[in-house]
Structure 1
Amino acid sequence: MKISIIVAKSLNNVIGKDNQLIWRLSADLQLFKTHTSGHHIIMGRKTFESIGKPLPNRTSIVISRNPNFSVPEGHFISHSLEEAIQICIGKKLDQVFIIGGAEIYSQAIAIADELLVTEVNAILEGDVFFPEIDKNEWTVISSHSYKKDEKNQFDFDFVVYKRNSK
């Protein structure tokens, strides 16, 4: 099973502030939808709460330490990243997407096979960060640039990284 991380981050690795995205990028949201639709997505509880509901055409696996936390029927709760991955393995999935937040990304980067990174061409203030991408461990396999316009607040690049084999 391929484990893919999908994230939007600024040049200084900021991914959000006050549990919210800090940019308006319509093209990035469309890329996110295109890549994750029809798949299982793993996220932390805060990310799930910031979205507000399960995303259409995706199965959510929410990681929470709170034993009383619940999700709608058809979605799953796990108590660790490892447990979330085991749910996906048990379902014999071809691919799963890790969609945040910072704590989950920090754990998942060690086991991910691929990074799908929207690199927002701005230095922004925030309170949550994506881990540094070690260029010795990852190779860029594709990159596509998007220009700022009325629906996209900043220029950005959509970069796909593949883990280097050991």
Structure 2
Amino acid sequence: MWRDRRDRAASRLTVPAFTFDAAQYDAEIARAESDRTWEWHERTVARLVRERLNDEPELLGGWECEPGWVEARPNDRGRIHVSYLFPRRPSAGDDPWLQFVAVLDVPAGDPAAVADDIVRELCDRDPRRQDRLAGGSREAAQQLGFQWPPHRA
């Protein structure tokens, strides 16, 4: 049951209680969670890349990196953005860390095969490329053997 809801935009309006079958509700939530029909090609590839990197941490782990976020931007069709941290996820202490972001082209084709190719392209050689350095600090970059990008000042 949903009850005691109020419309903040219309403070005098009270929404009546709504009762529904719990099993039907759970089934609808499960259906909505598994519905991928809204995804565009790059979004599907980004989701599959993220799942693969999270499921197989050794792929980036060989470079002492840990996956961050992966996204497909609606205003940047044809590419995905993949972030990863080095060395691994920052701790609560003062350990230096850097964030890298790879912007990768997404060709047409079966999304699973395209995602596999992108993961291979990203992980088969050192992904800690200077042109991908996107976050952290100047001091961390120096400590870890990288140059801080001039555009980051």
* TM-score calculated relative to the size of structure 1: 0.20
Structure (1/2) with the larger strand percentage:
1
Ranked by relative contact order (alpha carbons within 8 Å, sequence separation 6 or more), the top structure is 1
The structure with more helix, counted as a fraction of residues: 2
Larger Cα-atom Rg: 2
